[in-house]
Chain A
Amino acid sequence: MSKKEYKTFDFELSLPYRLAYGPTWTRFFEGLQEEKIFGTKCHQCNRVLVPARSFCPQCFVDIDDWVQVSNEGTLVTWALISFEFYNQPKKPPYAAGLIKLDGADVSMFHLVDGFDMNDLDKVKETLPIGRRVKAVWSEEKKGHILDIKYFQPI
């Protein structure tokens, strides 16, 4: 005996938003437009936090000590995204990674690209943990996180 199929209600939600960057993030993204990556240093724990913050999440003190960190750093870990999902920002395969920039004490989340991603073994060979990477800049900069197009193995 087949089970009765009940009705479904199909709809889509699309909503406009305008989110405020605030002074610290505005300055950070203005930096990206000049191909500079800024962090802020906490005077209590002495860590340089990248992307820049207006306060240290561990010490909970205001921070306003701006430090320009390197455009190069070390790959802490990475993932090759091989699956597709609705409204995905990029078509697979693509790689995301955590990059610890020279001069920073925490890692930054970004794309890792600039090499062939169609062969997993080659990707593994190209991206040993600890691999040196550098920022590749987008030609057109909008004061957006993707002004850094991706980080490329050096």
Chain B
Amino acid sequence: MGRPVAIIGTGQTKHGNRRDVSYPELVREAVKAAFEDSGITPKDIDGVVSGTMPSMMEGIGMTQFYLGDAMAAVGKPILKTETCGSTGMSIAHTAYYWVCSGEADMVLAVGHEKMREGESQAVMSSCFDPFYQKYFTSGAPGIFAMQCQDWATRYNIPEEKVRDAAALLSVINRDNALDNPYAHIKRKVTVEDVKKSPIISYPIRLLDVCPNSDGTCAVIFASEEKAKKIGTKAAWVKGVAYRGEEYNFGDGDKVEWQSAIQCAKQAYEQAGITHPRKELDLVEIYNPFTFQELLIFECFGFSERGKACDDILNGFYNRDGELPCDRSGGVLCTNPIGAAGLIRVAEAAMQVTGKAQDRQVEGARLALSHALGGVMQFNGLMILGSEL
């Protein structure tokens, strides 16, 4: 890794149905909050990184033009990064690399989506080629249903056990969201509620699935010198990794999921982590689907292969468990998709700087944030620590 980089401030909108504001107004709400949190002003920023997934979600092609003003980008360089669902993580990476390179000292990263203004599943279908894959992807739930069935069969996990573990994971996330003032879906549910909710794509039921949300997240990255000069409590970037796979869905193995396994391996090496299950204090996993989060727990080495269900059912990932997962309520409760990956980074930063209020994990010093994208083509991580 290059020179040290810190996160010195974060801002989020109240996510959800935000028809009360225009898209630029929504974006500016989070950007203003990030400036207030960090104590700096737009003139201190050297550049802006923006992204969405995909632009056409809101029917406007070049969002960085339309939203540049709202991101305080007038008179500054602006970059756009788009990697499907992992867009928010890639925005964080782009901002990190920019500061790390020494070409900028302070960069504003902004992930945004007004997902309720379009037809999200139809827009996502437009990401695929019409030659081979478009007809069969059928929105996001179909491919995640396939991944889950492949995983449960491969490790011979009984259907009921997978169902119970995923239902409990939904309950954990939804309980966590009740403590998050920015979360979209804030409704207490029971394991039985999840198991009785309508089937979307077997085995995925309605309460296993994220909502469509409007929302924006803004994060300010700074060099060591600037971070120390400003003097606010900073989250330090300890590991940054990203991996892609083949485009064709049938080419790769989505259970022994190499993009997830390899990017975690690299980020752990950078952060000096040898036992992620023990060393991490909390994780913010990109979890639009409960079953997919279970599989990620295994790919990232928190749970042994085929054992994530046991760990969930034994309370390992509870808020007071050994490794609290998605204390924010995760993507499962809040999914402005272009912002969702960056929200994971912001939540991890808030945790290690002690700013997470009612959802604070006591004594959090090392946190992992994650996002995935494409037809399971991409995985990215950022590990944050409380010390340089």
Contact = CB atoms under 8 A, between A and B. Distances in A.
A133 interface: no
Contact of A85 (B56, B139, B150, B246): B139
Contacts of B125: 87
Contact of B138 (A21, A79, A100, A123): A79
Interface stretch (B70-78, B88-96, B140-148, B336-344): B140-148
Interface residues of B, number: 39
A106 B251 contact: yes
A136 interface: no
Given A145-B131, A145-B135, A98 B247 contact: no
A120 interface: yes
A108 to B, nearest CB: 5
B305 interface: no
Nearest to A13: B59
Interface core residue of A5, A81, A107 (most chain B CB under 10 Å): A81
Contact of B122 (A49, A80, A81, A85): A85
Interface residues of A, number: 46
Interface string B120-142: 01100100011111111111011
12 contacts: A13-B56, A49-B248, A57-B247, A81-B139, A83-B139, A85-B139, A89-B135, A98-B250, A107-B251, A129-B153, A145-B132, A145-B135
Interface of A: 3, 5-6, 8, 11, 13, 19, 21, 25, 29, 49, 51, 57-58, 76-83, 85-90, 94, 96-100, 106-111, 120, 123-124, 129, 145-146
Interface of B: 19-20, 56, 59, 119, 121-122, 125, 129-139, 141-143, 145-147, 149-150, 153, 198-202, 246-251
